Chain A
Amino acid sequence: MMNITDLLLRPAAFFPGRIEGDKPDLKMPLVIVLLYGIVSALSAANVSSVTMAMMPAEIAGMGTMIIGIGVVSAFIGALIYWVIIAAVFHGISALRGGKGDFQRTLAVAGYGALPMIFGSILSGIIIYFTLSDVTIRPISDPMQVSAAVTELMSTPSMQIAGVVSLLFVLWSANIWVFGMQEARNLSGKDALITVGIPVLIYCLMTILPLIW
C-alpha cells in the first residue's frame, strides 16, 4: 500500500523497497499520471470554452468538437509527457553513470507527478475564477483570435496560475531527485543534476515569457 505522506514529505524513505527489480509495478504511477491527465483535461476544457466564445458565429457551431479535441489532447498529453520526462531523466542519468531498467525511471517519474496534480487543481481554480469574471465577445476576424487568447493569457491573474504550477513542479522535482537515486543508483549530486537540468530548462521556459 502506497504511503502518500511519505511520498510527498519523505521521498527518501518512500522509494527504498518500492522500486524492486527491473520491472517494478507501474499501476500506481499510472494512476497518478491518469489523475494528472484528468485534471489537465478539465482545465483545458475551461480554456477551450473561452476560446470558442471568441470565435465568429459561423465557427461557433464546431465548439463542442473543438473543446473535445482540447480535452483529449490534454489527457493524452499527460501520458506522453510522463514518458518523455522519464526518457530525459533516463538519458541524463545514463551520462552520469546511472544503471537500471527504463521501467524503474518510468515509475519514479510517475510517482513524482503527484504534487503536479495539486498544482494543476490550484491553477485550474485560479483560471476558472479569472475567466468567469471577463466578458467574452465574438471576434469576426479569426486571425485575431490567437492574439486575443495570448492577450488573455498574459494577464496577471493567468500568470499567477503559471507560477503556482511551477512551484508544484519544484515539489515534484524534489521527489524525482530521491527517486532517481534509488532507481538509477546515483549519488545525490548526480541525481540532482539529472533532475535539475530539465527542470531548470522548464522553469526558464515558463518564467522568461512572463518577464518579457
Chain B
Amino acid sequence: MTYNNLIAALVIMLALCAVPSMAADPSTTVEGQLGVTDVAIDPGVFMYGDSGTVKVTVTNTGTTSVAIARAKLYSNELDVMGDENYGSVGSIGPGNSLQFTFTVTADAADGIYYPLFYLDLRDASSLRYRVPVKVENTGLSVSVTDRPDAFTSGKKEDITIMVGNPRENTVNGVVITPAMNGYETTETSHFIGTLEADQAAEATFAVTPYVETPMEFTVHYRNGMNDHEVTIAVPVIFGTDRKQAETVLNNIAVTPEGDHYIVTGDVTNAGLEDAKSVVVTTGAPAVPVDPYRSYVVGALEPDDFASFEVTFYAEPETEDIQLVTNYKDKDGNLYSSQLTLPLESAAVSDKKSPVAGDDLPIVWIVVVLICAAVVAGVIYYSWKKK
C-alpha cells in the first residue's frame, strides 16, 4: 500500500465514521425510521425536592424493525432513576411505539433543565433528545378575605380563607385544616380538590376563640405525587365588636312598695345588631322577689326599645344595687351588662318593727281603744254630774 492509498483509506474511514454522527440529529435515526413522538412530564412543574416521571414515546415510522440496545436519561442537575430498566430493550417493529419512563427528583434550584434522552441502537447508531424540565418552588397563595372587626372570648365568628394557585401547573388534593390551638371550629376541614393554574377557591370557618393566640389554618395540597402544605395565622385580639348589640337603660324609677322596691324603666338597643332574649333583673345585694323577679323583654332590633318592671328586696342599709341586663346574639352567645342603681327612696320599713307599710300594730289599736273609752267615760261622767 502506497502513502496515497493510505491517505485514501483514511479518508474513506473518516467518511464512514461521519455517518453515525449525522444520525445524532434529534428524533431521527440514520435510517430516518425512529422519532420521539411524545414527551409527558408529571408534575408539569417540579417544586424543590419533588419526584416525578418523564415519559418519552418513540415511534418507528419505517418499514423494517429497528433493534434497540438500551435507553437512558442523562442529567447533571436532576437525579434520574429507572433507566436501569432499559438496559436491553429489544426491537421496535414498523409502525410501533415504545414508551420509556424515568423517575426524576428535582434537587435543584428554580429553572429549566434539559436532561438528555439517549437511545442506543444495535446498528451502532443512536437517538438523542433533550427533554425540558421546569423547577419552580412557588407554593399556593393563602389569604384571609373576611374576618370580624374584633373577637370576643366565647363568641362564634366567621373567618373566610382564600386559596389561590399562582403556579403554571394544576395542583390537586387541596384541603384547608384549622389547627385547634385555643379555639373551636364547626368544620374540622374544608376540601377544595383540584386547583387549576391561576384559579382560587374560598372556604368559610365558624370559629369560637377562647384565648388570644393566633388561629392557624394549614393548606395541604399535592404537586403530582408530592405532598406540600402552607400555613397562615390569623391574629386574635379580644375587643368590642363595633356592630354588636348594646343595651342602654333609661327612664329608671325606683319606688318603695311595702317591704320591697319596684324598678321601672326602658331598655333600648343602641347597637347595630339584634339583641335577642333580652332579660332585665337585679343583682347582688338586691334579692329579686315576686311578682317580677326578672322581666323578659324579648328581641330588640337596633334602635328599638321596650319597658320593663322588676321587683326586689334590699336590706335597709343598702345604698346601691345592680340592675342586670342579659341578652343573646344570633348565635346564642350570652352578653351581660350591669348598671349601679342608688337607692334613693323615701321610707322602707324594717321588718322587725311595726312601721310604715306593715299591718296595723296591735299595740296602737289598744291605745286607741283605751283613749276612746277614757274620753267617752269622761264625757258621760261630766254630763251625769252636771
A contacts, CB < 8 Å to B: 8-13, 54, 115, 119, 122, 126, 130, 133-141, 144-145, 147-149, 151-152, 155-158, 160, 163-164, 167-168, 170-171, 174, 178
Contact = CB atoms under 8 A, between A and B. Distances in A.
26 contacts: A9-B385, A10-B382, A10-B385, A12-B386, A130-B355, A134-B347, A134-B355, A135-B350, A136-B346, A137-B344, A140-B342, A147-B346, A148-B346, A148-B347, A151-B346, A155-B355, A157-B355, A157-B356, A157-B360, A158-B356, A160-B364, A160-B367, A160-B368, A170-B379, A171-B375, A178-B386
A172 to B, nearest CB: 10
A174 B346 contact: no
Nearest to A148: B346
Contacts of A141: 344
Contacts of A133: 349-350, 353-355
B382 A11 contact: yes
Given A10-B385, A160-B365, A135 B360 contact: no
Contacts of B316: 135
Given A122-B367, A164-B367, A152 B354 contact: no
A11 B367 CA distance: 25
Interface in B292-344: 316-317, 342-344
B197 interface: no
B359 interface: yes
A151 B356 CA distance: 9
B3 interface: no
B150 interface: no
B358 interface: yes
B378 A8 contact: yes
Nearest to B317: A135
A9 B378 contact: yes
A113 B342 CA distance: 46
A139 B349 contact: no
B186 interface: no
Contacts of B378: 8-9, 171, 174
Interface residues of B, number: 33
A43 B316 CA distance: 25
A178 B367 contact: no
Given A10-B381, A171-B379, 19 more contacts: A12-B385, A119-B371, A130-B356, A133-B349, A133-B350, A135-B347, A135-B348, A136-B346, A137-B348, A138-B344, A139-B346, A147-B346, A148-B346, A151-B346, A157-B354, A168-B371, A168-B375, A174-B378, A178-B382
A160 B360 contact: yes
A149 B347 CA distance: 9
B371 A174 contact: no
Nearest to B359: A156
A126 B370 CA distance: 14
A134 B349 contact: yes
Given A135-B348, A137-B343, A155 B356 contact: yes
A106 to B, nearest CB: 22
B372 interface: yes
A135 B347 CA distance: 5
A8 B375 CA distance: 10
A54 B353 contact: no
B371 A155 contact: no
A149 to B, nearest CB: 8
B243 to A, nearest CB: 35
B382 to A, nearest CB: 6
B361 interface: yes
A138 B319 CA distance: 10
B359 A140 contact: no
B278 to A, nearest CB: 27
B235 interface: no
A137 B367 contact: no
A148 B357 CA distance: 13
A178 B378 CA distance: 13
B345 interface: yes
A133 B364 CA distance: 14
Contact of A155 (B357, B375, B385): B357
A140 B342 CA distance: 10
Contacts of B375: 115, 167-168, 170-171
Contact of B372 (A10, A12, A139, A167): A167
